[in-house]
Structure 1
Amino acid sequence: MSKALRVGITLFRIDELTHGDMGKVLAMAEMADAKGVDMLSIPDHICFSSDAAKDYPMGPDAFPGTLDEPWYEPLTLLAAIGARTKQILLSTAVMIAPARTAVMLAKQLATLDCISNGRAVPVFGAGWQRAEFDSQNLPFEGRFTHMEEQIQVCRALWSGGPQSFQGKFVQFEDLWSYPLPVQGAALPIWLGLSPSPRNIERMARFADGWLPAMESLEKIKETRDKLSTSLEKHGRDPENFDIRSSLIPVPHKSGGIDFDATFAQAENMKAAGVTVIDTAPTLLTDRLDDLEMILDRLVALRE
């Protein structure tokens, strides 16, 4: 998996920099696009229950923010960004796909791809919070199988109509769903899953890339090797498979972030098989004025 390195940003907890000013969010995206950043991602949560922090898989201390913090619906915000940018790829980190209905999800992604002229690169995940599924009247149990069916439904509908599908969670006959994506049925779908044997097999069958969550570089390299074997078993070329991972902020001994040490992680990340290096600006600074410097350092990683 020796692909050319790409770089990206994730607009995580973005209100910490923009304070609810959506004009500033769009301006950040435009700056990233103009600087040559390859990918921009939006995280996803539909809602939180009062017990969300307690139920968080990585523990309550790792819960990302507060219950009343804004989480903008990713495909809506990406559509606005797509209309204001020219080349940056539009992604999610990650989107809780099975908390959405399959046919509508296919329609939304096709529309985003049309708005952006072929720049949609969604990352699907299965989610962890039952309340999000209950709120949408969708099943929490079986969500991984549901997600697999969603990918198959997207590929089918993006191939043109009429299409029929008979799965455990999704069934329909003779549906037409237009417009088709600019990228057609080849619109890439990545998966953000833990690297269990079952998920590695799932990614090899259905995904075009992997977004690990909090995995060490050693684990990423180990999983990359297992993915290569599984991809080849399914007749797929590992060279066409992406792995995206984020820089880990390194504290400076005098306070703040040590930017040199943080960005120096890139070489080891590339050696582990990472093809897209990502960062969330809010994890590196609380000043919007620092964004240009962060983007310049990020783009320089490709040199």
Structure 2
Amino acid sequence: MTDDVQLSIGLPNFGPWPDGDWRGFVDVARAAEDAGIDRVVLVDHVVMGPNTDKYVWGRFPTPPEAPWSEPLTLLAGMAAVTSRIRLATGILVAPLRGATLLAKTAATLDQISGGRLELGVGTGWQREEYDAAGLDWDLRGRLLTDTIAACKALWTQTPAAFASETVNFSDTYLMPKPVQPGGVPLWIGGTLNKRNLARIVESGDGWIPIMGLSTEDMARDVVTIRQALADAGRDPAALRVQGPIPMAKGDDGKFDLARTMDNAAEVVAAGATALQLPIQAFCPGPKEAPAFFAEARRLFDAALGR
């Protein structure tokens, strides 16, 4: 069944694509909603260090001095001009914000959006961000685990209590709660190692595979996650997966939207529930976004036989 599979569009809240017009960038979400896009996703860096050459997943998309807007702030602006589309991060470097502040910010954003927020979270790859925040880079995995578990406690308990190596509180009230039952959905990003699998089973609602993972390997890992959820007494069918659609080029050597969308069905078969496309690969800027969204929606529905 593909009726509940979502079309998810990555929006570049960084670099030259918005052309410096951040107020106009908010309207891109409204254009996406008008075209029937299901979900938009923003990415995160709080600050940048000079060593972008250490990015191991290819060429980093911007120099360190390029603008990079804070995603939760932009999503709040998008929430104000939309009513249906899901608003997501993929990923947010959760440990940089601290558990209580992140829980409060996310709960507030979920409230003003009417329950449309989804947090894709991870540790990030850049040591300089942790250094600038006064956090121990070597503890980043523990910080992520504790941060998301503490957020879950704050969203679901009144009063809340949580105790771990890095986050501790008791008799603590966070109000208002998120609109969504159980709190804001948490999509755990990254390679499916032992620690990330444990995070998904204990606190997660979804998984965002690491960049560059093949569709075949994603399918294998989805099976692993679903089995681990079942073993823990959770419903494996409830797992959400953000699967990238393999990019295809046309005869001119440029990325071709129609040929790319021909790959959508194989990603669904591999277990993806939200099929992800980066808008900047096909669309030069916000002015062209409405036409891109309409064509992407048409091709997506056709590829899935809708």
Task: Please tell me the TM-score bracket, short chain as reference.
Answer: over 0.9
Root mean square deviation, CA, Å = 1.9
For the pair 1:231 / 2:247, whether they are aligned, the reply is: no
Is the 8 Å Cα contact of residues 120 and 188 (structure 2) preserved in structure 1? yes
Of 106, 109, 118, 2:103 maps to 106
Q: 1:195 matched to which residue of 2?
A: 192
Task: Output the CA distance in 2 between the equivalents of 1:257 and 1:165.
Answer: 47
Task: Output the CA distance in 2 between the equivalents of 1:299 and 1:242.
Answer: 20
- State the Cα distance separating 1:110 from its structure 2 match: 0.3
Q: 1:24 matched to which residue of 2?
A: 24
Q: 1:41 matched to which residue of 2?
A: 41
CA deviations 1:263-287 (Å, max 9, x no partner) are 1110111111111011121121324
Moved over 6 A (4+): none
CA deviations 1:151-193 (Å, max 9, x no partner) are 2211111124322222100112221111111114332111111
Task: Output the CA distance in 2 between the equivalents of 1:125 and 1:289.
Answer: 31
Is the 8 Å Cα contact of residues 211 and 245 (structure 1) preserved in structure 2? yes
Count residues in correspondence: 300
Task: Output the CA distance in 1 between the equivalents of 2:174 and 2:11.
Answer: 30
Q: 1:72 matched to which residue of 2?
A: 69
Task: Output the CA distance in 1 between the equivalents of 2:125 and 2:145.
Answer: 16
Equivalent residue letter for 1:163: A
Of 78, 82, 96, 1:81 maps to 78
CA deviations 1:204-250 (Å, max 9, x no partner) are 22211111122100110000111111110111111110111223432
Task: Output the CA distance in 2 between the equivalents of 1:172 and 1:103.
Answer: 9
**Using a 3 Å threshold, how does the CA distance of structure 1 residues 3 and 258 change in structure 2: closer, same or farther?**
closer
Is the 8 Å Cα contact of residues 151 and 206 (structure 1) preserved in structure 2? yes
Alignment gaps of 5+ in structure 1: none
Secondary structure at the residue paired with 1:7?
Answer: strand
Task: Output the CA distance in 1 between the equivalents of 2:128 and 2:43.
Answer: 17
Task: Output the CA distance in 2 between the equivalents of 1:115 and 1:109.
Answer: 10
Task: Output the CA distance in 2 between the equivalents of 1:194 and 1:287.
Answer: 31
Give the 5 Å matches for 1:162-241. Answer: 162-212=159-209, 213-241=211-239
Of 148, 156, 159, 1:159 maps to 156
Deviates more, 1:236-245 or 1:201-210: 201-210
Of 253, 256, 272, 1:274 maps to 272
Alignment gaps of 5+ in structure 2: none
CA deviations 1:62-100 (Å, max 9, x no partner) are 212211222111111111111111011111010000111
**Using a 3 Å threshold, how does the CA distance of structure 1 residues 288 and 156 change in structure 2: closer, same or farther?**
closer
Q: 2:55 matched to which residue of 1?
A: 56
Identical-pair percentage:
30
TM-score after normalising by structure 1: 0.93
Equivalent residue letter for 2:12: F
